[in-house]
């Protein structure tokens, strides 16, 4: 048992515990904070796997972007200190049952399946390699999906503006 | 203790996925449901990266799929929050039970 193993299990515990707390706490602001720590745990696992670029993107986009957006919308829509309403116990029991059965089924399948590693020279996931393949139009390049995602982001931006325009200006 | 490998990461990812599903089933507030969806998307990303690292180290396809999933998740969260805030303006509540007359 070395330091790397200990760090991995600490990150795993952080991710799962904060994820569970995030969906079970009744204070919505705490749920957002637990979500931040769960996402940071996942970024740590990416660092542990030596995927530094993805870890950085995870921290920047999720922790710096999406969760901040969620916290702002909590401030805009929720009264401070108000607890979320309690759920019916029946719904909770059936949800736990469904989730547990699904989890058990998935893990049984995963442990019965023998994964085999493909040989070949490993490509280092560094920024130079990522950028080259991302913008390449040759075989194995990702230029087309890149453009599709940029169109999607543009459409999402326009959609947000259209939704957020207040109705008063239309009638005036 | 076991040496961490593909199976351990798949365990984390499955646990996170079903945590998200549990939150999605039990929560009745649109923002907390959005948080559960983020957990689910993150578990999928973790799977992509783990398979990329342990099974196909000579390629980077899993990494690119993760990047695109992150981009799409950001767009989805932005649109969802715009809709939620608009719903709050007209209904003064973001409970899913009130969201059924969103079409009017």
Which ipTM did the prediction report? 0.90
Query: What is the pLDDT confidence band of residue A7, given thresholds at 50, 70 and 90?
Result: very high
Question: Is residue B1 included in any domain, yes or no?
Answer: no
Nearest to B64 by CA among A89, A42, A135: A135
Q: Which residues of B touch A90 (CB under 8 A)?
A: none
Q: Is residue B53 part of a domain?
A: yes
pLDDT tens-digit readout, B18-69: 999 999 999 888 899 999 999 999 999 999 999 999 998 888 888 999 999 9
B81 has a chain A CB within 8 A of its CB: yes
Count each helix (H run) and each strand (E run) in chain B, helices first. 3, 0
Gap between the Cα atoms of A137 and A143, Å rounded:
6
Kindly give, in sequence order, each residue whose CB lies less than 8 Å from that of residue B68, ignoring residues fewer than 6 positions away. Answer: A145, A149
Identity of the residue in A5, A32, A102 whose CB atom sits nearest the CB atom of B4: A5
State how many domains chain B has: 1
- Its domain, for residue B24, covers 6-101
Q: Where are the domains of chain A?
A: 1-85, 87-117, 124-172
Q: Which of A31, A106, A132 is nearest to B23 (CA)?
A: A31
Q: pLDDT over 70 for what percent of chain B?
A: 95
Search chain A and give the residue with CA nearest B25: A95
SS3 B95: strand
CATH of the structural domain A1-85, one choice from 1.20.120.1200, 3.30.300.130, 3.30.565.10, 3.90.25.10? 1.20.120.1200
Residues of chain A in contact with residue B6, where contact means CB-CB under 8 angstroms, are 115
| A 14-53: CB under 8 A from B | 15-16, 19-20, 22-24, 28, 31-32, 35, 38-39, 42, 45-46, 49-51, 53
**pLDDT tens digit string along A141-165?**
888 999 999 999 999 999 988 887 8
pTM: predicted TM-score of the whole model, two decimal places: 0.89
């Amino acid at each position: 048992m070395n330091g790397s193993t200990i760090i991995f299990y600490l990150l795993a515990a952080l991710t799962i515990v904060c994820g569970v707390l995030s969906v079970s706490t009744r204070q919505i602001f705490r749920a957002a904070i637990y979500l931040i720590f769960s996402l940071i745990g996942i970024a740590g696992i990416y660092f542990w796997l030596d995927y530094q670029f993805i870890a950085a993107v995870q921290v920047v986009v999720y922790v710096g972007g999406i969760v901040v957006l969620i916290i702002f919308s909590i401030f805009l829509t929720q009264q401070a200190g108000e607890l979320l309403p309690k759920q019916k116990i029946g719904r909770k029991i059936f949800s736990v049952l469904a989730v547990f059965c699904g989890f058990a089924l998935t893990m049984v399948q995963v442990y019965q399946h023998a994964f085999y590693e493909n040989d070949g020279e490993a490509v280092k996931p560094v920024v130079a390699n990522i950028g080259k393949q991302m913008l390449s139009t040759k075989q194995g390049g990702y230029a087309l999906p890149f453009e599709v995602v940029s169109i999607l982001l543009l459409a999402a931006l326009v959609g947000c503006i259209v939704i957020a325009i207040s109705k008063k200006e239309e009638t005036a | 203790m076991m040496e961490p490998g593909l199976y351990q990461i798949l365990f984390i990812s499955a646990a996170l996925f079903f945590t998200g599903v549990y939150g999605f089933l039990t929560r009745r507030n649109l923002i907390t449901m959005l948080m559960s969806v983020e957990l689910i998307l993150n578990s999928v990303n973790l799977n992509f990266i783990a398979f990329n690292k342990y099974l196909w180290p000579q390629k980077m396809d899993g990494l690119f799929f993760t990047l695109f999933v992150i981009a799409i998740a950001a767009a989805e969260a932005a649109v969802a929050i715009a809709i939620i805030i608009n719903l709050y303006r007209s209904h003064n509540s973001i409970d899913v039970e009130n969201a059924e007359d969103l079409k009017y």
